[in-house]
């Protein structure tokens, strides 16, 4: 089974969120390095509205992303992680 391109981009975004810097900087890097390239056609229909909302919040001017409050940024970051988990599905740990 071929990996979903959107899932790979969301994994990259989560990696950026786990890196150093202010949450607004990490969101900016997550957007510019990965999320801006997500194609709606690569998403399951039930996730498309959620990703569209993320795009509306993050896709504007970088200054807009920098102006997000810490609470707004944390909520957006949590949604990115949640979507990534849904796209990637449960991990097969090989444990019984």
Residues with Cβ within 8 Å of 11's Cβ and at least 6 positions away in sequence, in order, are 84, 88
Label residue 73 exposed, middle or buried (CB < 10 Å: 0-12, 13-18, 19+). buried
What is the pTM for the complete model shown? Answer: 0.88
Say how far residue 37 (Cα) sits from the centre of its chain.
11
* Structure-token pair, residue 16: 């950026």
- Which band of pLDDT confidence, cut at 50, 70 and 90, is reported for residue 89? confident
Tens of pLDDT, residues 19-73: 999 999 999 999 999 999 999 999 999 999 999 999 999 988 889 899 999 999 9
Q: For tokens 């409050």, what's the residue?
A: 69
Q: What is the pLDDT of residue 62?
A: 87
């Amino acid at each position: 089974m071929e990996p979903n391109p959107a899932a790979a981009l969301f994994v990259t975004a989560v990696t950026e969120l786990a890196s150093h810097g202010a949450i607004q900087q990490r969101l900016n890097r997550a957007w510019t390095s990965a999320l801006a390239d997500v194609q709606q056609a690569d998403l399951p229909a039930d996730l498309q509205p959620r990703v569209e909302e993320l795009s509306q919040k993050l896709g504007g001017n970088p200054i807009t992303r920098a102006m997000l409050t810490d609470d707004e940024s944390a909520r957006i970051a949590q949604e990115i992680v949640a979507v990534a988990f849904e796209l990637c599905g449960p991990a097969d740990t090989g444990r019984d």
